[in-house]
């Protein structure tokens, strides 16, 4: 069995944290697509670099654009409640979105914007190496695993690229439709059982 001295492990961890911070600095300065001309702040994401769960939403909204932080509006409140319902806090998971800049008027992300932003989320996942990547809604599901409908894929795990993905609804849909909120809460129970 390989033995990794604790000091070496400590330096590996420090490097991972530094790399993530430096990636986030690059995202904040990113000008790779035209969204940088309309956004107030890019929103890299936040949470633990040791997170077991890595949540991916669609794109920052108005509140996120103003603050530079992910999921701080009403959708964020619901996401935080769902995370807490499975015994975790926001600080213990990692939260981000497919796009790091707000599309004007919250329009759906364009395919070209998703492709331009994709390397950022890929690098975040590689650095954090979560147990499960949780895809919130159709845009995240289509961008990361395939063009599946949320209603058919929610509550299911999918293995690809050496990662475990889990699909559920976007909290904005759950805020709109009480039935979806119940389904999303049930999905989080499935997610919890996977983490035990
Ligand atoms: N919706 C998202 O998909 N991401 C955010 O950061 C906020 C709302």
Kindly give the distance from the C-alpha atom of residue 57 to the centroid of ligand 1, in angstroms, as a whole number. Answer: 5
For position 12, which CATH number holds?
3.40.470.10
Is 96 near ligand 1, meaning CB less than 6 Å away? no
- Tens of pLDDT, residue by residue over 145-182, are 999 999 999 999 999 989 999 999 999 999 999 999 99
Kindly give the distance from the C-alpha atom of residue 160 to the centroid of ligand 1, in angstroms, as a whole number. Answer: 24
At 96, is the pLDDT very low, low, confident or very high (cuts 50, 70, 90)? very high
pLDDT score for 89: 97
Beta bridge pairs of residue 158:
165
190, pLDDT greater than 70? yes
For residue 130, the enclosing domain spans 3-195
Is 130 near ligand 1, meaning CB less than 6 Å away? no
Which atom from ligand 1 is nearest to the alpha carbon of 75? 8
Average pLDDT in the chain: 95
Is 78 near ligand 1, meaning CB less than 6 Å away? no
pLDDT exceeding 70 applies to what percent of the chain? 98
Which atom from ligand 1 is nearest to the alpha carbon of 140? 3
Cβ(56)–Cβ(98) below 8 Å:
yes
- Cα separation, 127 vs 132, in Å, equals 14
Is 64 near ligand 1, meaning CB less than 6 Å away? yes
Q: Which of 10-24, 113-127, 141-155 comes out lowest in average pLDDT?
A: 10-24
pTM tops 0.75, yes or no: yes
22, pLDDT greater than 90? yes
pLDDT score for 49: 95
Domain count, the chain: 1
Which atom from ligand 1 is nearest to the alpha carbon of 70? 6
Average pLDDT over residues 107-122: 98
Kindly give the distance from the C-alpha atom of residue 187 to the centroid of ligand 1, in angstroms, as a whole number. Answer: 19
At 130, is the pLDDT very low, low, confident or very high (cuts 50, 70, 90)? very high
86, pLDDT greater than 60? yes
Return the HEC string of the chain.
CCCCCHHHHHHHHHHHHHHHHHHHHHHHCCCCCHHHHCCCCCCCCEECCCCCEEEEECCCCHHHHHHCCCCCCHHHHHHHHHHHHCCCCHHHCEEEECCCCCCHHHCCCCHHHHHHHHHHHHHHHHHHCCCEEEEECHHHHHHHCCCCCHHHHCCCEEEECCEEEEEECCHHHHHHCHHHHHHHHHHHHHHHHHHC
pLDDT score for 4: 67
């Amino acid at each position: 069995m390989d033995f990794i001295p604790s000091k070496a492990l400590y330096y590996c961890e420090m490097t991972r944290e530094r790399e993530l911070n430096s990636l986030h600095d690059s995202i904040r300065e990113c000008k790779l697509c035209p969204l940088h001309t309309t956004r107030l702040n890019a929103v890299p994401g936040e949470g633990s670099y040791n997170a077991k769960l890595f949540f991916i939403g669609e794109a920052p909204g108005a509140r996120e654009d103003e603050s530079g932080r992910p999921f701080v509006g009403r959708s964020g409140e619901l996401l935080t409640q769902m995370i807490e319902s499975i015994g975790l806090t926001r600080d213990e998971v990692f939260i981000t979105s497919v796009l790091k800049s707000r599309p004007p008027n919250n329009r759906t992300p364009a395919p070209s914007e998703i492709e331009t932003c994709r390397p950022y989320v890929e690098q975040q996942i590689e650095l954090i190496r979560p147990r499960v990547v949780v895809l919130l809604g159709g845009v995240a599901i289509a961008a990361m695993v395939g063009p599946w409908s949320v209603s058919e894929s929610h509550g299911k795990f999918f293995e690809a690229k050496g990662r475990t993905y889990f699909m559920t609804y976007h909290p904005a849909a759950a805020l709109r439709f009480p039935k979806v909120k119940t389904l999303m809460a049930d999905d989080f129970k499935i997610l919890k059982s996977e983490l035990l």
